[in-house]
Every structure is written in C-alpha cells, then in structure tokens.
Amino acid sequence: MSNQTCPQCQRQENRIKQHEKYIAQLVEYVAKINQRMTDLEKRHVKKI
C-alpha cells in the first residue's frame, strides 16, 4: 500500500497544518495579553 495522497488531499493537509500554526500563535498572543492585563490590574489595585 502506498502512503502517497492525492494532490487535493495534500493541499488540504497543508492548509490544516498552517491553520494549526496560526491558531497556536493566536493562543500565545492571547496568553501574553492576559498576562499583561493581569499585571496592569495588580498595579492599579496597589495604587488604590
């Protein structure tokens, strides 16, 4: 049995992999923003 896939399937697989990378980047960005927001909230509470 051959492990080769049809060209259309390969394109779909490549697109899915690219989307996975984009999603991982977005999750990373959201985590960083959440951390910044938490830090800002802590600083704000200390000032009050």
What is the DSSP track for the chain? ------HHHHHHHHHHHHHHHHHHHHHHHHHHHHHHHHHHHHHHHHH-
The rounded distance, in Å, linking the Cα atoms of 14 and 37 is: 35
The per-residue pLDDT for 48 is 72
The per-residue pLDDT for 3 is 62
The rounded distance, in Å, linking the Cα atoms of 28 and 39 is: 17
The per-residue pLDDT for 45 is 86
Per-residue pLDDT tens over the stretch 1-48: 456 789 999 999 999 999 999 999 999 999 999 999 999 999 988 877
Range of the domain at 10: 1-48
Categorise residue 12: left if φ over 0, alpha if ψ from -120 to 50, beta otherwise: alpha
Count of domains observed in the chain: 1
The per-residue pLDDT for 13 is 97
The per-residue pLDDT for 1 is 42
